[in-house]
Amino acid sequence: MQKRGSERGRSWLSSNPLMLLFLLLLLLPVLFLSRMDQDGDKLAYGQFKQVLQAPGVQVSKVHVGATTIRGEIVLRDALSGYVPDSKPIVKLFHTPRTGLLNDPGLQKLLDERLAGQYQADDEESILKGLGSFFFFGLMLGAVLLLTIFMIRMFSGAGGPFQFGRSKHKLYARKDHKVTFQDVAGIDEAVGELREVVDFLKRPQKYQALGGRIPKGVLLVGPPGTGKTLLAKAVAGEAEVPFFSLSGSDFVEMFVGVGASRVRDLFREAETKAPCIIFIDELDALGRSRGGNVANPHEEREQTLNQLLVEMDGFDTNRGVIIMAATNRPEMLDTALLRPGRFDRTVVVDQPDINGREAILKVHTRHIKLGADVNLRRIASLTPGSVGADLANLVNEAALRAAREGKQTVEMADFDEAVERGAVGLERKSRIMKADEKRRVAVHEAGHALVACACPNSDPVHKVSIIPRGYGALGYVLRRPEDDRHIQTRSELETNIDVGLGGTLAEELVYGDFATGAASDLEKVNQIARRMVKMFGMSRLGRIYHRDGETGNAFLSGLGELGPRDHSEETAREIDLEVRRIIDGATERVRDILKRNLNVLEVVVQRLVEKEVIEGAELHDLLSKNGFVPEVAPQTLPMPSENGNNRTASAS
């Protein structure tokens, strides 16, 4: 205990250098006064009177103060070895005294020897001395206040002396307001973390059998799935202190700062154990080492090394559980993921339809819902949405209802919020000319007809030619009736067909097509290329062709660059196969639209008049006008390498 106290004292002095400055400023007046007392030779009062009466000694510049007599002694003749024509020796002196009233003969002696050539303060100078002392006290107080202000300014958050201090936020037991009741849709992850809560509440239950709780729990999943919310719920259920910070809080340009912050974090956590340390975005700190060959001792790697030691070093921390969250697990260092550090990995994935409904119930607890609101239907309209998306959807619906002066949030508000999240904000201010409006109606009607004709297509919920978002002049909203985790070859081909429906409808009606087909063609080409290169759904066989990137499991569209693993000849065959798939889809879609040109015109006229057609109204319109759906299988026979056709099985 004594050793720890001394270490804390040294660390306190090292972390508060301005206190040393204050102590120095406090000692300066004392040193100055002591220096003043030491100016010249100090003579006793009796010695001063002897010198004053001695022959050959000249005393000048005498000042008789309230407590001290000061002056100069000029030594001459035998007393000083004075040689004529040489300068006399001058010495300063000071003599303590208690005032003229204590020695009435002093004034007479001074008058005889100095003939009135001296200066004497009256006894009121004592009050002047007290005034000087009071002024000195004021100056000392001003220095003290200035020093305290500087300490607070420089030692506060972001101060230059706080580089080595951790930037965590500490939430005490009374600050926890989140529990597992506020977490929905991720029951498997909650079940994994209940064991951690039980250990923090009753550690002796596990220690009695020789077991130990995992030192680290890594939460992995897409953004917005509730990883941070889960960590707060664990702290709220266990009722223990909760340290929260981000992985980027450790990273600085100054060498050694990150490692110092890690040490400071764990040092404070040990004093509040049992507790939880939550590090969000761990990949900013725990990225694999060895990437910088030119500088292997960079600051980030030193910080990671210190974290590894703190989590599982010789001085093992007891009662401190590390929880971290990331959506880039493939980037983390293997030493960080090994057992003994992050022992357990909890996947927080996208919720299914039941999970989304449960999440909607949590977020609508304090919302005044209308009688027509169906949370199950809203959940079915939002496949792939995570907790953050659904929370934003509920908030958008409530804001829309408030803008329109409603007393409750109705289903129409939720439908509008779903469309706003899927397509973008409605832009009624954009006015299109009549010919452009009709062309957009033809384009969207083509998408809708092909979607309704293909048996593997998701149901159409709405067709609109009202501009939304950035550059979208119209849209067809399709949503699956249930969750889909895989897609068959026929379903992918259907998506290609629907994507080509708009531009082919324009071609049949106008003889050409406009630039609005660019985004459709991009999506179509992407699907066809993935079918060939990733899924083996072509004549090239069941081969995976990597082309410059490896996708992330949780962040779509992002990946790390890598070498291409196929030749230029194979790349040309891939391009030809992509063209073959799109050409085949073009012929299928053109046949569907030719058989239903009259129905297409009816849908276009309704869109021009109403601008929006709901799904039920669209199906009723198609059935009344002799719509002919596609009855043949969508999947075309996949030619083999030797030229013989064979039918591919959907998986």
Residue 188 host element (H or E): helix 187-201
**Amino acid identity, position 441:** A
Q: CA-CA distances (angstroms) from residue 580 to 87, 513, 538, 568, 635?
A: 117, 21, 10, 18, 13
From the CB of residue 4, how many other CB atoms can be counted at a distance below 10 Å?
Answer: 8
Check residue 409 and report its DSSP letter: B
Q: Are 183 and 190 in contact (CB under 8 A)?
A: yes
Nearest C-alpha neighbor of 495 from the set 456, 530, 440: 456
Torsion-angle region of residue 511: left (phi > 0), alpha (psi -120 to 50) or beta? left
426 beta partners: 468
Q: Do residues 607 and 444 touch, judged by C-beta distance below 8 A?
A: yes
Q: Are 390 and 381 in contact (CB under 8 A)?
A: no
Strand 216-220 and strand 320-326: the pairing is parallel
Verify whether residue 268 is a known catalytic residue.
Answer: no
Query: Which residue among the candidates 192, 237, 301, 444 is catalytic per the annotation?
Result: 444
**Tokens describing residue 70:** 């000061």
> Within 13 Å, how many C-alpha atoms sit on residue 554's CB side?
19
CA distance 142 to 148: 10
Structure-token pair, residue 395: 């908030």
Q: How far is CA 332 from the centre of its chain?
A: 17
| 3-class SS of residue 323 | strand
Sorted by sequence, the CB contacts under 8 Å of residue 201 that are 6+ apart come out as 238, 239
Nearest to 434 by CA among 315, 611, 558, 239: 611
Cβ(536)–Cβ(542) below 8 Å: yes
Provide the phi-psi class of 392: left if phi over 0, else alpha when psi is between -120 and 50, else beta: alpha
Q: Which residue is listed with tokens 């003290």?
A: 144
Please check whether residue 453 is in contact with residue 596, taking contact to mean a CB–CB distance below 8 angstroms.
yes
3-state helix, strand, coil in the chain (%, to 5): 50, 15, 35
Q: List the Cα angle 50/56/57 in 5-degree steps.
A: 50
Q: Are 12 and 72 in contact, with CB atoms under 8 Å apart?
A: no
Please report where in the chains the tokens 């981000």 appear, as a residue: 246
Q: Which residues are catalytic?
A: 444
